[in-house]
Amino acid sequence: MNTKLKRSRSLSSGALLTVLLALGMAQGTALAAPGNDNFANATKISGSLLREGAPGSTKEATKEAGEPNHAGDPGGASVWYHWTPTESQVAAFTTCGGFDTVIAVYTGTAVNELTEVGSNDDTPAGGGPACGAPRSEVRVPVSSGVKYMIAVDGKAGASGTVKMQIYQRPGNDDFAASETLPLTGVKFTPSNWLATEEAGEPEHAGVAGGTSVWYHWTPVETGPVTLENCGGESGPDTLLAVYTGTELGALTPIASNDNGAGACSPQSEVSFEAVAFTKYKIAVDGVGGDEGYFNFNLIP
């Protein structure tokens, strides 16, 4: 009898332990919801988070009562961000993640009283950040000082890690705001994402573009120099042009190229004889408005 009683008590203790563990796991799951799961606790996006992105996760996230279907998808595991721009211009809201996302941008102060500004399920490949999973992107005009609420959800309830980024046009989009290149050792990977074409801007290399960015360079020695965008396998189809002049509508062409030779195509490459202390204006554009990250090498 005593042996049976002990076994019974042991089984009861084991069952109780199983129940307690299950409850603990349930509690842990509930506590693991992201901090920006709810609209009221949206993560603020500013400073370096704009381009670097706000890393996060939608795992264990939920959908609130009254929350809309983002991009028309029921979702079910949304997280929230908010951003107040300091300039009025077009902005791109985009996701990088290991799962199929949807994204939506709103104005409003309550989750059940929002005005949609734009939303997206899948955006075409190319441009922007390189992401393995289907990427979502919204491009909309934004107004300075307006608070925008951004929801990132998983299509059909999918969830996982995600990074939400916000882009505006590059600082060197305009001719007058061209970026200074150092004298030597120029090798970097900029972007013409969201860049525009100015009124009176020439067709670089005689090809229609639409997403140009500008640089300027002043050598201290006369001699041959090569500029190229080669090697960007997933980058845009670029146009490259070098000019002299101080007015956008009155530039003197020095060298230009659409497709470089061999493996450089569809990127571009130019070589010319640089004259010491001459200020050269350099445009990198995308064929037909193509955009993304590209290589920029200056080889003296």
Q: Where are the domains of the chain?
A: 39-168, 175-299
Q: What digits encode the pLDDT tens for the residues 243-289?
A: 999 999 999 999 999 999 998 999 999 999 999 999 999 999 999 99
What CATH number is given for 39-168 in this structure?
A: 2.60.120.380
- β-strand 213-217 against 179-180: which pairing, if any? parallel
- Report residue 275 as tokens: 């004259």
Assess whether the region 39-168 and the region 175-299 belong to the same CATH fold.
Answer: yes
> What average pLDDT does the segment 205-228 reach?
96
Instruction: Give the C-alpha separation, 268 to 285, whole Å.
Output: 10
pLDDT above 70 covers a percentage of the chain that reads 85
To which residue do tokens 């002990």 refer?
A: 6
pLDDT above 90 covers a percentage of the chain that reads 69
pLDDT at 26: 44
Picking from 60, 5, 70, the residue whose alpha carbon sits closest to that of residue 31 is 60
- pTM of this structure: 0.79
pLDDT at 29: 45
Q: Domain 175-299 class?
A: mainly beta
pLDDT at 185: 66
